[in-house]
Chains A and B, each alone.
Chain A
Amino acid sequence: MSGAPGETLAIVLLAATLIAAVVRPRRLSEVVVSVPAAALVLALGILPLHVAAKEARSLGPTIGFLAAVLVLAEMARRDGLFAAAGTWMAAASRGRPVALLGLVFVVGSTVTAILSLDATVVLLTPVVFATAATLRLRARPHVYACTHLANSASLLLPVSNLTNLLAYRASGLSFTRFGTIMALPWLAAIAVEWLVLRRFFASDLVGRGVKDSERPVALPVYPLAVIALTLVGFFVTSIAHIDPAFAAAAGAIALVLPALRSGKASLGDVGRAVDIPFLAFVLALGLIVSAVSYRGLGSAVNDLVPHGSSLWSLLALAAIAAVLANAINNLPAVLLLLPAAAAVGAGPVMAVLIGVNTGPNLTYVGSLATLLWRRTLRRHEVEPPMSEFLRLGALTVPLVLLVATLALWLSLRVVG
Chain B
Amino acid sequence: MHVMLWLAEGTWEGCIDAAAPLIPEDARVSLLYVVPEDVLHAAGAAAEGLIGRWRSRPQTGLTEQMAAEAMASGEALVAAAAELLGQADVGRVIRRGRIEREVVQAAEAADLLVAARDGDRSRLGPHSLGPATRFVVDHAPCSVLLVWPDEAPDVDSIPPPPESRRRDQSAPPRG
Contact = CB atoms under 8 A, between A and B. Distances in A.
B51 A364 contact: no
Contact of A206 (B10, B43, B97, B131): B10
Contacts of B104: none
Given A30-B52, A126-B69, A366-B51, 7 more contacts: A29-B54, A207-B9, A207-B14, A272-B56, A275-B56, A364-B42, A364-B46
Nearest to A128: B43
Contacts of B43: 125-126, 129, 143, 146-147
Contacts of A383: 41
Given A202-B120, A384-B38, A278 B54 contact: yes
A122 B47 contact: yes
Contact of B70 (A133, A205, A281, A364): A133
B62 A125 contact: yes
Contact of A278 (B49, B55, B129): B55
> Which of B48, B57, B129 has the most C-beta atoms of chain A within 10 angstroms of its own C-beta?
B48
A150 B51 contact: no
Contact of B10 (A97, A150, A273): A97
Interface string B61-104: 01001100110010001001000000000000000011000000
A33 to B, nearest CB: 11
Interface size class on chain B is 35 or more
B149 A139 contact: no
A144 B46 CA distance: 10
Contact of B46 (A97, A130, A132, A147): A147
A21 B77 CA distance: 40
A129 B36 CA distance: 12
Contacts of B49: 360, 363-367, 370
Interface stretch (A180-188, A301-309, A340-348, A385-393): A385-393
A121 interface: yes
A143 B54 contact: no
B39 interface: yes
Contacts of B111: none
Contacts of B45: 364-365, 374, 386
A303 B131 CA distance: 47
Interface string A382-413: 11111011000000000000000000000000
Contacts of B153: none
A207 B11 contact: yes
Interface of A: 21-22, 24, 29-31, 70, 74, 97, 117-118, 121-122, 125-126, 129-130, 132-134, 136-140, 143-144, 146-147, 150, 202-209, 272-273, 275, 277-278, 281-282, 285, 329, 331, 360, 363-367, 370, 374, 382-386, 388-389
A384 B98 contact: yes
24 contacts: A97-B10, A121-B50, A122-B57, A125-B43, A129-B70, A133-B73, A136-B77, A139-B70, A143-B43, A146-B43, A147-B43, A207-B10, A207-B149, A272-B55, A272-B56, A275-B53, A275-B56, A364-B45, A365-B45, A366-B46, A366-B50, A382-B97, A384-B38, A384-B41
Contacts of A208: 10
The 9 tightest CB contacts between A and B, nearest first, are A207-B10, A203-B130, A366-B49, A365-B49, A133-B73, A206-B10, A281-B52, A384-B37, A384-B38
Contacts of B36: 139-140
Contacts of B55: 29, 272, 275, 277-278
Nearest to B55: A275
Contacts of A130: 66, 69
B46 A209 contact: no
B52 A331 contact: yes
A129 B41 contact: no
A329 B10 contact: no
A149 to B, nearest CB: 11
B96 to A, nearest CB: 10
A112 to B, nearest CB: 12
Interface string B1-32: 00000001111111000000000000000000
Contacts of A275: 53, 55-56
Contact of A209 (B9, B38, B42): B9
Contacts of B127: 203
